[in-house]
Chain A
Amino acid sequence: EDQVTQSPEALRLQEGESSSLNCSYTVSGLRGLFWYRQDPGKGPEFLFTLYSAGEEKEKERLKATLTKKESFLHITAPKPEDSATYLCAVQDANTGFQKLVFGTGTRLLVSP
């Protein structure tokens, strides 16, 4: 069974204090790993897709990386507007590539 575990559950940073969020996954074969951002009261917003180990994607202060067992979302010099819940999800190439399995998210709070 596909599993996605995100850590930490919650993270509090000061503005400018860089950190990383972790997404560990178990799938029979990875087709894609996805990162989303969710603001309170809103639907998730797509950030990145990663397909193979070693791949990296960047967008503003965010950089996502992928290994064979986990993905990291690195946040460099965060700002208060980066506060949100970050969700990780995997698409299994073998057992259910039509479906997405999500982790429970990391709630990030960036204080000024």
Chain B
Amino acid sequence: EAQVTQNPRYLITVTGKKLTVTCSQNMNHEYMSWYRQDPGLGLRQIYYSMNVEVTDKGDVPEGYKVSRKEKRNFPLILESPSPNQTSLYFCASSLYSMTGPDFSQFFGPGTRLTVL
């Protein structure tokens, strides 16, 4: 079954304690992306990756890091989480061609993060 998986699904942590949210896809997609969803603000893109070792900032990258060492995995790293990073996070993947990403993308189930 084609899917994007995220772990953990729920996480409560404290300010400053480094954490990683994993994302994995089984569709051999080149393009992967992280979003955060906040009430009244909608989905906002944090980082994206066009392929292995190729990443770039989205609209709200401050406080986040990513890496793409393997095609299937795209972890999101919060080096020193703060309360304003409390949010619902989604990973997504899609095909990528010469004309850019195909945004008929698959989303993961989400990770609800609370930073105290």
Given A44-B90, A103-B42, verify A31-B100 contact (CB < 8 Å).
yes
User: Do B42 and A98 have beta carbons less than 8 Å apart?
Assistant: no
Bound complex: CA A41 to CA B110 (Å): 8
Contact of A99 among B41, B59, B90 (CB under 8 A): B59
Which residues 83-112 in A have Cβ within 8 Å of B in the complex? Answer: 87, 89, 91, 97-105
Q: Size of chain B's interface in residues, with CB distance under 8 A?
A: 26
Q: When the two chains form their complex, are residues B45 and A104 in contact, meaning their CB atoms are under 8 A apart?
A: no
CB–CB A104/B40 < 8 A: yes
Give per-residue flags for A42-80: 1 if the beta carbon is below 8 A from chain B beta carbons, else 0.
111110010000000000000000000000000000000
Tally A-B pairs: CB < 8 A.
54
Q: By DSSP majority rule, is chain A's interface helix, strand, loop, or mixed?
A: strand
State A21–B109 Cα separation when bound (angstroms): 25
**Known A-B contacts A42-B109, A42-B110, A44-B90; A102 and B100 likewise in contact (beta carbons under 8 Å):** no
Proximity bits, B100-114, A CB within 8 Å = 1, else 0? 110111111110000
Interface residues of A (CB under 8 A from B): 31-32, 34, 41-46, 49, 87, 89, 91, 97-105
